[in-house]
Amino acid sequence: MTAPAPTRRSGRSAQQLGRRSVADTALDCAAVVALLSVAIVGFGPAFGGTGYLVAGFGALLLGLAIALLGARLRANILVLAAATLMVYMVFGGPLAVPTTTLFGVIPSLETIRALVLGVVFSWKDVLTLETPVGAFASVLIVPYLATLVASVLAFSFALRLRRAAWALLPAGVLFVVAIAFGTRDAAAPIVQGLVFAGIALAWWAWRRSQDRARRIAATTLDSASGAQAPDAGLARTRLALGAGLLVVALGVGLATGGLLAPVSAREVLRDAIVPPLDLHDYASPLVGFRKYVRDEKEDVLFTVKGLPDGARIRLATLDAYDGVVYNVAGDGTAGSGTFTRVSGDIPNDVTGDKATLDVTIGDLTGVWIPDAGYLEKFRFTGDRADELSGSLHYNRTTGVAITTTPLAKGDSYTMDVVIPKVLTEEQLESHSLQSLTMPKASGVPEDVAPLATTYIGDAERPLTQVRNIATSLSQEGFFSHGLEGEATSRAGHGAERIATLLGADQMIGDDEQYAVAMALMARSAGMPARVVMGFYPDEYAGADADQQITGDQLHAWVEVAFDDAGWVAFDPTPPEDQVPQEEAPKPKSDPKAQVLQPPPPPQEPADLPPDIRTDDTEQDDEPDSNAILTTVLIASGSLLALLIVLLTPVVVIGALKARRRKDRQNAERPADRLSGGWDEIVDRADDLGTPVGGRGVTRRADAAVLAEAWPALPVAEVAVRADNGVFGPGEPSQQEVDAFWAEVNDIVRGMHDSRGWWTRLRARVSLRAYIGRRLESRRRRRRARS
């Protein structure tokens, strides 16, 4: 019974040799910090600013603290997951969603809601918002959460596992996440990748050499032959050779990486995600043109301050025609259909005159936002600023802004715009038309193309061709809104209405019909043309005065794209004083005898577009009564999903241990069942924090160690019975095996009940003994093969 004692002493000495020093631990942490820092920098192009750095590096330090404390307390995976979740909720406010906190630090109910929902929805927002996304609420949850989880795992693996390669896995995943959720324009793709690979290879090589040295030292100490440690000079030579190869590899990669991996080959998730805005949900504003000029002719739709003289306010740019309505290309494949969510800063490369406009909404309703030129900055003000800011979408190509939360009276915003310079006709004479891909027009009346050819005539220069179409319509047509006292003019711009306009003896219409007719004619001649609906006053009040915009100032015009000049506006609508000279004679009345007629059948209410309101239209201004319930359900579902993710490892670990126990209890040989029963006791002791003398020590020696920890349990008797059954003559009977396992169960239960709840909880999810057995089995197989 005294023979195993030296083995245990030598085992403890080897274990002491295997412990890592403080300097080694600090070096491990420094290497992981460097790897994670390189990955965090990769979020820069997509997020912009410095908010992602605060969120990322704050999460890195928190993950390091959790891992160090977990290693110190030997916390299991369940404890680490709970600590990570708690840290995420406590520090997520100031690091990821500071605008929702009190005084920038104290979490509020809105903070908790944003953090819970952000676990699910922030990832989608990062991919669908206009970059840089850092100014949007809740998107910083992505670098914060990703870095926190990756740092906890990476530091824990580096501090607690022998193989350093496991720590490289979460760091590499974070590096890939930063790329996938980034943009095609990386911060420094070649340098970033080479630095990450260089640090990873160098640290991995150093860890391998350290682990090899410790194993050799432990083997030398335990060996009776007194074998000496390997030559230190040989170790230095290997280390120098590895460093040289690493330097050469990095040099070759740096020299050739720029040629073999251009930036254009970089693929990110953003390129495969279509923005969620569906423009088919919103009617074309051109449908309501006649409503504004008829019903809101003198109503102040909005007030703008700072509008330069001659500048036009754009409401919508339309380039898709289907024979029914001129609309925005809602499939997102054309220029007018690619709307993305934007924050306050909207970078563009447009040159021209800069201006700052202050707009206050009056009677204008709908989702289309009046703006001018092309936006550089946009900021909602007023009571609904936060609500409207989260729904702002912008199209950089057309300069059109839209909000999925409809505008209401009193809403206000400030915008910095760039208004392109307007070239004179002499300057445009030498410019050719741009070669653009426009949405295919369908349902175009047959008279459009022949009449366009007639209007263009023998003109060769693009500008002259466009001018001929606009001038012909303006000079040959007549103006009428079809209001009381005006010539008959039907609203609409469908194929039948345009065909009637062009085929009539007298063309009569307003901006709606003439702009659509000219755009279709220009398109039939191969010109890139689109219809723009917007406002401009007859007289400008000046840049420092408030300009009131009424329904009477609504217009529609045509823009044609010229090389090096952009989109140039043309007005094909006849002057308002150009009215028909004669009207068709009115039919003579033929009075009939009065006959009592049955009452007309009830008519169905007109199906109005969502942004057109009449006096009889009921408006639902009440908030959605289910909004709170929906929020609660989403938050509950997100928490449930998070709990499922956290508890899945616990369930898997329990299933693995249950399967191992069943395999031991049902082994083929009765002797193996007895040996498995003793292994069950040893493994449970290991999970409870009482490791026995190491693999290869006799059962009786292990029993002596266990008896010190649990003196009331008959572990020594069970060890003797296991040895007798395994090494004794013959095989034990099934009754003996069942009785043995009954005692094993009693001992395991007693060991478990004698410890506190915290220790029992750690033991249930501990993989220490399970992994140790797997590694021992692998080493035995390798020794058997050799």
**Where do we find the tokens 């007030």?**
303
Asked whether residue 145 carries a pLDDT value surpassing 90, the answer given is: yes
Q: With bands split at pLDDT 50, 70 and 90, how would you rate the model's confidence at 227?
A: very low
Q: And the tokens for 199?
A: 């640090």
Sign of CA dihedral 263, 268, 270, 272: positive
For residue 376, the SS3 value is: strand
Sign of CA dihedral 773, 774, 777, 782: negative
φ, ψ at 562 (rounded to 5°): -115, 150
The stretch 313-342 carries a mean pLDDT of 79
For residue 665, the SS3 value is: helix
Question: Which of these ranges, 60-74, 176-190, 467-481, 618-632, has the smallest mean pLDDT?
Answer: 618-632
Per-residue pLDDT, 720: 84
The stretch 209-236 carries a mean pLDDT of 56
Task: Output 317 or 610, whichever has higher pLDDT.
Answer: 317
Per-residue pLDDT, 694: 55
Q: How far apart are CA 514 and CA 558, in angstroms?
A: 9
Per residue in 750-785, pLDDT (tens digit) is 888 888 877 777 777 777 777 777 777 777 677 767
Maximum average pLDDT range among 95-109, 178-192, 356-370, 579-593: 356-370
The stretch 329-344 carries a mean pLDDT of 66
Question: Which of these ranges, 248-262, 569-583, 636-650, 714-728, has the smallest mean pLDDT?
Answer: 248-262
Per-residue pLDDT, 166: 85
Residue 242, H or E segment: helix 232-260
Maximum average pLDDT range among 382-391, 427-436, 662-671: 427-436
Asked whether residue 699 carries a pLDDT value surpassing 50, the answer given is: yes
Asked whether residue 129 carries a pLDDT value surpassing 80, the answer given is: no
In sequence order, what are the residues at sequence separation of 6 or more whose Cβ sits closer than 8 angstroms to the Cβ of residue 429?
Answer: 461, 463
Q: With bands split at pLDDT 50, 70 and 90, how would you rate the model's confidence at 631?
A: low
* Contact yes or no for 126/152 (Cβ under 8 A): no
Q: With bands split at pLDDT 50, 70 and 90, how would you rate the model's confidence at 601?
A: low
Per-residue pLDDT, 268: 62
The stretch 330-352 carries a mean pLDDT of 71
Q: How far apart are CA 68 and CA 72, in angstroms?
A: 6
φ, ψ at 585 (rounded to 5°): -65, 145
Per-residue pLDDT, 465: 94
644 burial type by CB count under 10 A (0-12 exposed, 13-18 middle, 19+ buried): exposed
Please provide the average confidence, as pLDDT, over all residues in the chain. Answer: 79
Q: What is the DSSP letter of 506?
A: S
Q: And the tokens for 550?
A: 């009424």
Q: How far apart are CA 501 and CA 240, in angstroms?
A: 86
Question: Which of these ranges, 415-419, 613-617, 720-724, has the smallest mean pLDDT?
Answer: 613-617
Alpha-carbon distance values, 729 to 357, 399, 723, 724, 734 (Å)? 99, 92, 11, 8, 15
Q: With bands split at pLDDT 50, 70 and 90, how would you rate the model's confidence at 606?
A: very low
By DSSP bridging, strand 478-479 and strand 371-372 are: unpaired
Asked whether residue 99 carries a pLDDT value surpassing 50, the answer given is: yes
Per-residue pLDDT, 637: 64
Question: Which of these ranges, 534-538, 658-662, 696-700, has the smallest mean pLDDT?
Answer: 696-700
Closest to 441 in 3D by CA, of 529, 556, 537: 529
Per residue in 495-519, pLDDT (tens digit) is 999 999 999 999 999 999 999 999 9
Per-residue pLDDT, 57: 93
Asked whether residue 15 carries a pLDDT value surpassing 60, the answer given is: no
Maximum average pLDDT range among 61-70, 137-146, 218-227, 230-239: 61-70
Per-residue pLDDT, 427: 87
Q: And the tokens for 68?
A: 């160090």
Q: How much of the chain exceeds pLDDT 90, in percent?
A: 31
The stretch 542-550 carries a mean pLDDT of 91
